[in-house]
């Protein structure tokens, strides 16, 4: 089982040389996302299939009624599972969590759960006794780079698309009962999604180290020259930034930063894990770029949601069921 | 620390001859100097750090938690240590923790941990052994001794002490005075147990053995010392290679040696002015 | 006399007793609890002066970066401390050696240490670091692994050294050709854990050393006691095996590995002619048995060991003269065991520095 | 949650009396465990205390650790159960600890001049004995000092600092109470330069508040670099005067 798919040096030098001439293998511009396709399952709610270039991720949202944690009686539960099976790529082992699997699950955790995308208080049914437990299972089908971004889009879209069965509470005091209405009887209820976090990964390449790699020298020292001899400007020439790298670009990159943003110009999390040092101004412009990408992706998600609703609402039967109709 | 055959034979002959000659010329009962500090950690009720000459170092933190108990008279103490470099719950770690836990449980009077009839203190003793060249047992026990000497438990808030004992229970969770100065020391009337280890080479018994001396030892003996008496005894493996065997009459000699050593150590540790 | 001396220190930092006054330089009267101002004793003291007043945001663009350049401490001869990232030189006249890295024409120090300039070569020697093997060094090593035609030897360097089968003396003298049977019985010669003294015969590009034991005063070590000191404390000299008063031989490895053994007649000294010497070296050069060693030899070995450890404790360079002076000075203490106390060590070393020149 | 007033008073004083741009009481020492490691350091930032031991560069213990063209760094983090207010024994594979280890490892694989020691290994052992906020920054600063003490060649200090944003007020170097009350970011820079090696933000914050937080964190990093640098120089001078090589 190959430990990791390190490409041969010839491939490396070819890709890096292309980058120094500001071209990418799939002729995308440096801040252009791969073509993103989001499709919702027509039969059940909360199942979304996201294809980002050749990377493919499926997220399934499910709900069940359980007991809340003792120390947080008013909050429902929200669990995200991001197990990466060897189906995605041979480098992932079934049992042990590999390092980048750990990083991916931590970033998804921070982007969606910690940032409060789902209002857990709205999941509470009877405080201290019964609450909804929303579970998001992410299945990674194909790995061509950008697993974090695809997974985050899949879960966010899934949460928006999911409908949980409606319930009514009967009885009073300690004898309260919960009646669950199947979807066929009552219109299912959407979740309280407060904001739509979209994760964007920026890959950094050091042109000097790249040119050194091409010339076959050991890692040239790149630490200092950006800020002393050539003049200090915002986007110094020595670092190139790519958005949404493919697997090959991911394996060659010298550093990366993942930024989660949403449409109300908020940054939910930033994770630059200590690899290649990058000038601070460049990081700020990356965060700004992340917001623009988030707006574009959220627009696409909403468009797909409307299409899905239109499809479900064939012959607009649902229209009759709406409350505001005059009875 | 694999020794070559020539080193092993040199050391074992030096240590088993009478009078023995230790590689650093110490007597059988002589201890190497230690560097000790107490009360060094703000987040603990009591803490201490001891460092040996050969780089061995141990930090112990003592924390007390309030728990509600059904049976009033048993003592709630948990001792745990993390030996860096070894996997968690390794045999050595279990030896250290179980020996000290039983020693403290048997010697600590339960009234010291009593708050009200319903509530007790639970004492957690956590140690980290950063590095150990010789056997870490004595190091861990001395550091725990010092940390327990340094431990202070907060007193009940003054207003709730007004009523006598039993009506205090109605007030539910006990309230404590937040003034750290008027907390009282755990070891006012009780002195903690001390565990000492000696190695046996031939007929000779050595205290505070270095790593290489342990490599040529025929066996080890530990004694638990409390209130001026030896209250516990146990044979310990000090070399992980072949099985160790030593004659029965060196045990009585070893116990005497360990008793006098423990008395001196306890005196020395008590002199360290805990903050 | 079962004494236990306890050195007390106030907190995690200071270790008044033991380890080489490591942190004594941080002043003791430092108040431990949460100090209001930023670090009280450092030069800054007050809050960081923000070069912009509060209203205008501390914008990133016009910030003059406080990089090492601004504090160019210039080139001062002699004992001058440089720290990583500090500009060492800007003109290309200097050649750059160890401990520096260069970017374009400027070069910076990469370690914390003393700046040394030896006719056009600029290098920074780190204050502490592991042993760097040089060709011709007399070192002591411990076998950690037996390969097919070579042994891996730990000499305390950044990598294990290699001892080829071809560069050792084999029983039956020098002329004998190395045969396959030798490869099969490698462990009969040297096995894991064995100590040997050898000479560095070559250093590979990545710093690993290749050893040889082709002369008779090299080979397996026996009849003695082994311990280590930092290699930076060993003063290099022509010879590294000494015959010390009290019937003790000392092998002072340049890598800080030290072997004290009972004085034995070296084959060369027994008046055996060189040619017969070669045949003479039979299997005994690889035997694991020790000879009989008297009690007072063992005691003087212990005394020498404590003497060297006293020099190490005060971080004083170790050479033959100082070791003998320390040994004589320790005669004042009846048992060598008393020499493990720190005040004794300091007294001995003070005496040593007075009596030995240089 | 502590109310806003208590966190940051109108007069601009924080809970521990600091102003907005003041670093907590920073104290560090190197060569604190010379016998048991090649390089060692102890750092106290406010009430967060971290001990770091570095062993290496040395012969790799496991064949799997050998990298042909550069040194392989492994980081191990031990969090003492008594380090927090409530005693907590963390499981061995706690995901937060593993994430911290891998960030520190990547950071120093780039900060150390790695190609000088091919096929050797450096082990970094970090012990957190007291936690009061800023644990990741204390670990990064302690590792930098321990590597310098071990004589491992590095491009520059790697120094870290945190900065938080309470409504519109930027606060520098947060303790535990402040960390739980506001979004904050941890930043590590390469010495005094403007190059950012690590940037971690864990709670949602408005984009236009990001720039002042990063600016404050960067100036904090540069200030901490000077504090560490003065300690290394002081230590170096005292060793030179004492030792007579």
Domain contains B166: no
Looking at domain C74-126, which CATH architecture does it have? Answer: Beta Barrel (2.40)
* Chosen from B130, B132, B151 to mutate, greatest number of chain D CBs within 10 A: B130
Q: Which residue has the higher pLDDT, D245 or C297?
A: C297
Of C195, C225, C337, the CB nearest to B26: C337
Which residues of A are less than 8 Å from D199 in CB distance?
A: 257, 270-272, 283
Domain contains A101: yes
Residue C33's pLDDT band (cuts 50, 70, 90): very low
pLDDT of the residue at C166: 85
Q: How far is CA C15 from CA B148, C26, D35, D85, in A?
A: 21, 11, 13, 27
Which residues of D are less than 8 Å from B82 in CB distance?
A: 78, 80
pLDDT of the residue at B108: 87
Domain contains B100: yes
Which of A187-201, B158-172, C58-72, C274-288 has the least mean pLDDT?
C58-72
pLDDT of the residue at B112: 84
Cα A110 to its chain centre, rounded Å, is 11
Give the residue-averaged pLDDT of C86-104: 85
Instruction: Using a CB–CB cutoff of 8 Å, tell me whether B13 touches chain D.
Output: no
Question: How many CA atoms are closer than 13 Å to the CA of A275, on its beta-carbon side?
Answer: 14
Structural domain for B122, as ranges = 5-157+175-271
Total beta-carbon pairs less than 8 A apart between chain C and chain D: 213
pLDDT of the residue at D41: 95
pLDDT of the residue at A4: 62
Number of structural domains found in chain A: 1
pLDDT of the residue at B173: 73
Domain contains B163: no
Is the per-residue pLDDT at D245 higher than 70? no
Q: Which residue has the higher pLDDT, A316 or D51?
A: D51
Residue B68's pLDDT band (cuts 50, 70, 90): confident
Most confident of A167-171, A179-183, C325-329: C325-329
Residue A18's pLDDT band (cuts 50, 70, 90): confident
Instruction: Using a CB–CB cutoff of 8 Å, tell me whether C20 touches chain D.
Output: yes
Domain contains B165: no
Mean per-residue pLDDT over chain D, rounded: 89
Write the pLDDT tens digit of every residue in C253-276: 999 999 999 988 765 454 444 455
* Chosen from B1, B25, B270 to mutate, greatest number of chain C CBs within 10 A: B25
Write the pLDDT tens digit of every residue in B228-246: 889 989 988 888 766 778 8
Find residue B153's DSSP bridge partners: B184
* Chosen from B1, B2, B7 to mutate, greatest number of chain C CBs within 10 A: B7
Q: Which domain CATH number covers A140?
A: 3.30.230.70
Write the pLDDT tens digit of every residue in A280-317: 999 999 999 999 999 999 999 999 999 888 888 766 55
Domain contains B169: no
Residue A225's pLDDT band (cuts 50, 70, 90): very low
Which residues of D are less than 8 Å from A267 in CB distance?
A: 201, 204-207, 210
Give the residue-averaged pLDDT of C121-127: 88
Find residue D122's DSSP bridge partners: D73
pLDDT of the residue at D142: 96
Number of structural domains found in chain B: 1
Cβ contacts of residue D37 below 8 Å, gap of 6+? B131, D53, D54, D55, D125, D146, D150
Domain contains A163: yes
**Residue D151: closest CA among chain C residues belongs to which residue?**
C129
Q: How far is D36 from chain B (nearest CA, A)?
A: 5
Write the pLDDT tens digit of every residue in C37-77: 233 332 333 333 333 332 222 222 222 333 333 233 333 34
Instruction: Using a CB–CB cutoff of 8 Å, tell me whether B47 touches chain D.
Output: yes
pLDDT of the residue at B61: 94
Which residues of D are less than 8 Å from C34 in CB distance?
A: 16, 24-25, 46-47
Beta-strand relationship, B77-83 and B119-131 = parallel
Of D102, D104, D156, the CB nearest to A99: D102
Say whether C103 and A280 touch across the interface (CB within 8 A). Answer: no
For the domain spanning D4-234, the CATH number is 3.30.230.70
Reference B35, options C310, C14, C2, D53; nearest CA is: C14
pLDDT of the residue at D243: 60
Q: How far is B222 from chain C (nearest CA, A)?
A: 17
Phi, psi of C49 (to 5 degrees): -70, 115
Q: How far is A217 from chain D (nearest CA, A)?
A: 11
| CB atoms inside a 10 Å sphere around CB A299 | 11
| CB atoms inside a 10 Å sphere around CB C93 | 7
Domain contains A216: no
Give the residue-averaged pLDDT of C187-209: 89
Of D120, D155, D220, the CB nearest to C101: D155
Contact D181, D2 (CB under 8 A): yes
Is the per-residue pLDDT at C29 higher than 70? no
Q: Which residue has the higher pLDDT, A258 or B3?
A: A258
Residue A324's pLDDT band (cuts 50, 70, 90): low
Say whether B57 and D36 touch across the interface (CB within 8 A). Answer: yes
Is the per-residue pLDDT at C357 higher than 50? yes
Instruction: Using a CB–CB cutoff of 8 Å, tell me whether B210 touches chain D.
Output: no
Structural domain for A108, as ranges = 35-168+177-194
Say whether A281 and C61 touch across the interface (CB within 8 A). Answer: yes
Give the residue-averaged pLDDT of B123-134: 91
Q: Classify residue A35 as left (phi > 0), alpha (psi -120 to 50) or beta.
A: beta
Write the pLDDT tens digit of every residue in B21-59: 999 889 888 999 999 998 888 889 999 999 998 889 999
| Predicted model pTM | 0.87
Is the per-residue pLDDT at C141 higher than 80? yes
Q: DSSP letter for D174, please.
A: -
Torsion of CA B27, B32, B33, B39, to 10 degrees: -130
Mean per-residue pLDDT over chain C, rounded: 75
Phi, psi of B108 (to 5 degrees): -85, 120
Q: Which domain CATH number covers B123?
A: 3.30.230.70
Domain map (residue ranges) of chain D: 4-234
């Amino acid at each position: 089982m190959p430990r990791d798919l390190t490409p041969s040096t010839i491939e490396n030098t070819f890709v890096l040389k292309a980058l120094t001439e500001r071209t990418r293998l799939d002729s995308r511009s440096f801040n252009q996302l791969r073509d993103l396709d989001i499709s919702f399952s027509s039969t059940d709610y909360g199942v979304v299939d996201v294809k980002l270039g050749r990377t493919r991720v499926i997220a399934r949202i499910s709900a069940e009624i359980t007991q809340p944690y003792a120390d947080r009686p008013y909050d429902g539960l929200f669990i995200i599972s991001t197990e990466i099976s060897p189906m995605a790529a041979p480098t992932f082992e079934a049992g042990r969590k590999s390092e980048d699997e750990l990083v991916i699950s931590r970033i998804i955790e921070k982007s969606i759960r910690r940032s409060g995308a789902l209002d857990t208080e709205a999941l509470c049914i009877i405080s201290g006794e019964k609450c909804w437990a929303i579970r998001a299972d992410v299945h990674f089908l194909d790995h061509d780079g950008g697993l974090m971004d695809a997974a985050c889009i899949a879960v966010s879209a899934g949460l928006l698309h999911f409908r949980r069965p409606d319930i009514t509470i009967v009885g009073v005091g300690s004898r309260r009962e919960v009646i669950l209405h199947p979807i066929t009887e009552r219109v299912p209820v959407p979740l309280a999604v407060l904001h739509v976090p979209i994760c964007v990964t920026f890959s950094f390449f050091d042109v000097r180290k790249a040119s050194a790699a091409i010339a076959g020298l050991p890692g040239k020292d790149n630490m200092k020259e950006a800020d002393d001899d050539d003049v200090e400007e915002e986007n110094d020439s020595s670092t190139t930034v790519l958005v949404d790298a493919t697997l090959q670009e991911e394996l060659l990159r010298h550093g990366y930063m993942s930024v989660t943003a949403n449409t109300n110009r908020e940054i939910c999390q930033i994770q630059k894990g200590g690899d290649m040092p990058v000038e601070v101004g460049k990081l700020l412009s990356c965060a700004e770029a992340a917001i623009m990408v988030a707006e574009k992706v959220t627009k696409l998600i909403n468009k797909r949601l409307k299409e899905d609703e239109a499809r479900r609402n064939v012959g607009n039967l649902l229209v009759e069921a709406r409350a505001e109709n005059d009875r | 620390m694999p020794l070559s055959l020539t080193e092993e034979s040199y050391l074992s002959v030096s240590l088993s001859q009478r009078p023995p000659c230790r590689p650093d010329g110490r007597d059988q009962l002589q201890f190497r100097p230690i560097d000790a500090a107490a009360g060094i950690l703000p987040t603990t009720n009591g803490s201490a750090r001891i460092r040996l000459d050969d780089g061995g170092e141990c930090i112990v933190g003592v924390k007390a938690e309030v728990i509600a108990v059904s049976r009033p008279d048993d003592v709630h103490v948990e001792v745990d240590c993390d030996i860096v470099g070894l996997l968690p719950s390794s045999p050595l770690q279990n030896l250290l923790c179980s020996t000290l836990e039983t020693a403290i449980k048997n010697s600590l009077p339960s009234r010291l941990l009593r708050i009200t009839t319903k509530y007790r203190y639970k004492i957690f003793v956590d140690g980290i052994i950063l590095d150990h060249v010789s056997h870490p047992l004595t190091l861990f026990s001395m550091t725990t001794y010092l940390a327990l000497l340094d431990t202070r438990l907060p007193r009940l808030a003054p207003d709730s002490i007004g009523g006598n004992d039993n009506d205090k229970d109605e007030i539910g969770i006990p309230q404590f005075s937040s003034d750290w100065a008027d907390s009282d020391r755990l070891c006012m009337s009780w002195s903690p147990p001390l565990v000492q280890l000696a190695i046996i080479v031939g007929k000779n018994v050595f205290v505070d053995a270095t790593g290489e001396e342990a490599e040529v030892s025929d066996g080890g003996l530990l004694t638990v010392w409390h209130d001026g008496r030896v209250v516990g005894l146990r044979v310990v493996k000090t070399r992980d290679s072949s099985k160790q065997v030593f004659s029965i009459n060196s045990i009585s000699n070893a116990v005497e040696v360990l008793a006098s050593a423990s008395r001196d150590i306890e005196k020395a540790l008590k002199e360290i002015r805990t903050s | 006399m079962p004494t236990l001396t306890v050195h007390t220190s106030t907190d995690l930092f200071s270790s008044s007793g033991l380890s080489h006054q490591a942190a004594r330089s941080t002043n003791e009267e430092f108040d431990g609890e949460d100090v209001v101002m930023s670090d009280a004793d450092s030069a800054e003291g007050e809050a960081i002066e923000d070069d912009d007043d509060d209203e205008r945001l501390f914008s990133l663009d016009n910030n003059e970066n406080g990089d090492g350049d601004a504090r160019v401490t210039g080139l001062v001869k002699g004992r001058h401390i440089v720290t990583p990232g500090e500009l060492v030189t800007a003109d290309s006249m200097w050649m750059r050696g160890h401990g520096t890295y260069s970017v374009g024409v400027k070069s910076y120090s990469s370690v914390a240490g003393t700046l040394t300039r030896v006719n056009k070569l600029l290098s920074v020697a780190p204050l502490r670091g592991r042993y760097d093997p040089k060709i011709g060094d007399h070192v002591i090593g411990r076998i950690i692994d037996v390969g097919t035609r070579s042994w891996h030897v730990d000499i305390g360097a950044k990598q294990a050294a290699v001892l080829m089968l071809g560069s050792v003396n084999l029983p039956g003298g020098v002329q004998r050709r190395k045969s396959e049977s030798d490869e099969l019985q490698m462990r009969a010669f040297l096995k894991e854990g064995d100590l040997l003294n050898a000479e560095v015969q070559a250093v590979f590009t990545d710093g690993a050393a290749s050893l040889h034991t082709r002369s008779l005063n090299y080979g397996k070590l026996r009849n003695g006691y082994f311990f280590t000191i930092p290699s930076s404390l060993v003063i290099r000299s022509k010879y590294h095996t000494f015959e010390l008063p009290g019937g003790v031989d000392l092998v002072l490895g340049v890598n800080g590995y030290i072997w004290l053994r009972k004085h034995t007649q070296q084959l060369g000294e027994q008046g055996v002619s060189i040619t017969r010497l070669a045949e003479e070296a039979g299997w005994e050069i690889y035997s694991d048995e020790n000879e009989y060693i008297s009690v007072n030899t063992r005691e003087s070995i212990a005394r020498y060991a404590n003497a060297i450890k006293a020099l190490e404790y005060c971080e004083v360079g170790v050479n033959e003269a100082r070791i003998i002076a320390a040994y004589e000075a320790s005669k004042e203490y009846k048992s060598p065991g008393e020499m493990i106390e720190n005040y004794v060590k300091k007294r001995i070393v003070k005496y040593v520095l007075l009596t030995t020149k240089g | 949650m502590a109310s806003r007033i208590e966190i940051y008073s109108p007069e601009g004083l924080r809970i521990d009396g600091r102003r907005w741009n003041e670093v907590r009481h920073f104290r560090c020492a190197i060569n604190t465990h010379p016998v048991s490691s090649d390089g060692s350091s102890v750092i106290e930032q406010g009430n967060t205390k971290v001990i770091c031991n570095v062993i290496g560069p040395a012969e790799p213990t496991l064949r799997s650790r050998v990298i042909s063209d550069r040194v392989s760094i492994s980081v191990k983090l031990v969090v003492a159960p008594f380090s927090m207010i409530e005693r907590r024994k963390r499981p061995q594979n706690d995901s937060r600890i593993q994430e911290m280890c891998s960030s520190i490892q990547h950071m120093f694989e780039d900060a150390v001049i790695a190609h000088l020691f091919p096929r050797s290994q450096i082990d970094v052992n970090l012990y957190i004995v007291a936690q009061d906020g800023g644990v990741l920054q204390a670990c990064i600063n302690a590792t930098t000092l321990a590597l310098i003490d071990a004589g491992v060649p590095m491009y520059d200090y790697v120094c870290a600092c945190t900065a938080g944003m309470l409504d519109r007020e930027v606060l520098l170097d947060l303790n535990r109470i402040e960390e739980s009350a506001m979004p904050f970011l941890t930043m590590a820079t390469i010495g005094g330069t403007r190059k950012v090696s690590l940037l971690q933000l864990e709670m949602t914050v408005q984009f236009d508040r990001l720039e002042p937080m990063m600016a404050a964190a960067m100036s904090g990093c540069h200030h901490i670099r000077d504090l560490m640098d003065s300690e290394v120089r002081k230590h170096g001078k005292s060793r030179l005067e004492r030792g007579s090589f």
